[in-house]
Amino acid sequence: MIISLDAMGGDFGPQIALAGADIALTRKPHLRFVIHGEEDRVLPVLAQFPKLQAVSEFHNCEVSIAMDDKPSKALRRGRWKSGMWKAVEAVKHGQASACISAGNTGALMAMSKFCLRTLPGIDRPAMSAIWPTLKGESVVLDVGANIGATAGQLVEYAVMGSAMVRALSENSKPTVGLLNIGVEELKGLEDVRVAGQMLRDARLDSMHYHGFVEGNDIGAGTVDVVVTEGFSGNIALKTAEGTAKQITRQLSVAMHRTLMAKIGYIFASGAFDFLRSKLDPRNSNGAVLLGLNGVVIKSHGGTDNEGFAAAVEMGHDMAANGLLEKITRDLEHFSTRKEQE
């Protein structure tokens, strides 16, 4: 399987992207890469990873997208020629099975939409996040690709999220919840209510519609897929990140306040390492741009080698397990039902 890399994205550029790809290659030796970026910045780094170099093809792209470029400007400047565009285009032309970029999120979404287009039956793509929970991991979408969503779009998100869980795990019938305020059937937004009814009526084999869930259900792992529109999804994601940071900071302060606490910290250091690994955002690095005619993974811009490797492996898993086919099959089910009615 060939993975297409945008080597110029992220806060650290080629250094992290190539080191990450090298780690992924160690774990999945059948991987091959097409790498896009500025040659004077990428090639010296690539030379540090001879094994990666041996299985990679490099394409020089003189234009790179800055992390703070507006999506419209990035599209104007970078279309047809930037490393990011070329990385996405390799998927479109079938040269690669998945594209990984740690670059500017808005620009990556804009270019992916423009270059790959959405799958038949999908109104617009969504961005999904993998959320560590008390029970394992859940998929939450949309975490900020679009503001607002109609009932039909929420149903599409549910289909895409459940396909993603099935592509990443053994779970063949994920539970799906619609994020709402209050679990009573009558509460909340009209579109959320209608989407709930549509999912309930559809009785898909590929998902179990659980009903409404609230914000606290996400971390509890009540459902495998949490569906919401992008504004509240982004706020939920960032609020959880902020809360996790706040508590770990307070824990660290508490553990250094007294001599007794410091001694306790030394004894329990293994436990703290365990907790840290549980909370490590690198374990779930990689948002997936869902609903496109191709697999595109957005790695966190500030991630490290291991984090980027996780994003590469996620791209591999999504492509290997037929993410797009799974989405298309479920959507057909919805459109067939519509025609029958």
* Residues at the interface with a second copy (CB under 8 A): 70, 133-134, 144, 147, 179, 181-182, 184, 186, 188-189, 214-220, 228, 230-232, 234-251, 254-255, 257-258, 260-261, 263-272, 274-275, 278-279
Residue 333 tokens, joined: 């089910």
Q: Please give the Cα distance from 47 to 45 (Å, whole number).
A: 5
Shortest reach from residue 170's CB to a second copy, in Å: 23
Specify the residue, 51 or 70, whose C-beta has the smaller distance to a second copy. 70
Shortest reach from residue 218's CB to a second copy, in Å: 6
Specify the residue, 44 or 182, whose C-beta has the smaller distance to a second copy. 182
Contact 299, 100 (CB under 8 A): yes
Residue type for position 63: V
Nearest to 325 by CA among 205, 199, 167: 167
Contacts for 321 with CB less than 8 Å, ≥ 6 apart: 166, 167, 168
Residue 85: other Cβ atoms inside 10 A: 26
Residue 9 DSSP code: -
Specify the residue, 126 or 327, whose C-beta has the smaller distance to a second copy. 126
Shortest reach from residue 224's CB to a second copy, in Å: 16
Shortest reach from residue 107's CB to a second copy, in Å: 13
Residue 172: other Cβ atoms inside 10 A: 11
What one-character-per-residue DSSP string does 95-112 give?
S-SEEEE-S-HHHHHHHH
Specify the residue, 237 or 288, whose C-beta has the smaller distance to a second copy. 237
DSSP 3-state of 154: helix
Contacts for 186 with CB less than 8 Å, ≥ 6 apart: 193
Specify the residue, 218 or 309, whose C-beta has the smaller distance to a second copy. 218
Contacts for 9 with CB less than 8 Å, ≥ 6 apart: 17, 65, 67, 83, 84, 101, 102, 103, 104, 108, 299, 301
Shortest reach from residue 68's CB to a second copy, in Å: 8
Specify the residue, 47 or 254, whose C-beta has the smaller distance to a second copy. 254
Q: Please give the Cα distance from 169 to 282 (Å, whole number).
A: 18
Shortest reach from residue 309's CB to a second copy, in Å: 24
Specify the residue, 47 or 251, whose C-beta has the smaller distance to a second copy. 251
Shortest reach from residue 283's CB to a second copy, in Å: 13
Specify the residue, 190 or 341, whose C-beta has the smaller distance to a second copy. 190
Q: Please give the Cα distance from 44 to 24 (Å, whole number).
A: 20
Shortest reach from residue 109's CB to a second copy, in Å: 13
Q: Please give the Cα distance from 194 to 208 (Å, whole number).
A: 17
Shortest reach from residue 91's CB to a second copy, in Å: 26
Specify the residue, 176 or 295, whose C-beta has the smaller distance to a second copy. 176
